[in-house]
Amino acid sequence: MKLRGLACLFLALRAALPGATPAAPASAPAAPLPPTTIESGALELFSTDKETTFTYSRGVRITATNLVLTCDHLVVVARRSGDPAALVGRQEKLKSLVASGNVRLVQDDREATAERAEVFPDDDRVILTGNPVVRSVKDGWEQRGPRMELLRGERRAVIRGEGADRPRTVLPPLKDLGYDKVPERRPAPGKAPATPDSPAPATPAPR
């Protein structure tokens, strides 16, 4: 089973939020990608003719290419084909991924935490709820909000407030822009200061 939803999740974070930069194209053939590994204290499978549901619990850790996700509980729904009587069958495509409980996703210097992360690969859509926070240690920004909807295909993030809980963005410091802390610019000796009503000095005509 290919967990494309994991890549979709962090690509959405990178594309939609501050400090995101597109990855540079590879100049040489890429090395083979390592397999995606899911570890948990318990796993339960349930299949229908068209889908298989994988329910991981009691502490979940996913290790994929340049990505680590941990949570308390994970439900993965994959479309399937092949023999309908088989327990698992052939896994064709990921339909959805829902991680809940102490969700933490790390890729490079970026980190996302929430109580719940819902990934819908067909829509390139990710929904983070439960005090979600996305931050970048390298770029120095942080985004909070009660609900984040990340739309990878549109390179857009929609962060809505709920009551007194409002979206909050923290960016790197700006220099002090206070007008009273800028040294006063005094005119040169013998030159009157310009006023808004003063006529502009005449410019000599070229010879």
CA dihedral of 70, 73, 76, 82, whole degrees rounded to 10: 110
Q: Which residues, 6 or more positions from 56, have their beta carbon under 8 angstroms from its beta carbon?
A: 38, 40, 42, 43, 73, 74, 75, 76
Question: Please, what is the average pLDDT of the chain?
Answer: 79
Q: What is the pLDDT of residue 101?
A: 97
In whole angstroms, what is the distance from residue 109 CA to residue 143 CA?
14
Domain locations along the chain: 4-22+34-175
Q: Between 199 and 108, where is the model more confident?
A: 108
* 3-state SS track over 90-144: EEEEEEEEEEEEEEEEEECCEEEEEEEEEEEHHHCEEEEECCCEEEECCCCEEEE
Q: List, in order, residues 6 or more apart from 159 with CB less than 8 Å away.
A: 143, 145, 147, 148, 149, 167
Question: For 103-143, what is each residue's pLDDT tens digit?
Answer: 999 988 889 999 999 988 888 888 999 999 999 888 888 99
- Are 97 and 6 in contact by the 8 Å Cβ rule? The answer is yes
Q: Fold for 4-22+34-175, please state it.
A: lipopolysaccharide transport protein A fold (2.60.450)
72 in Cβ contact with 57 (< 8 Å): yes
146 pLDDT higher than 70 = yes
- The whole-number pLDDT of residue 89 equals 52
pLDDT tens, residue by residue, 150-196: 887 777 889 988 888 899 989 888 777 766 666 667 767 766 665 65
Q: Quick: pLDDT tens for 15-68.
A: 555 555 555 555 667 778 778 899 999 999 998 888 989 999 999 999 988 889
Residue 198 has pLDDT above 90, yes or no: no
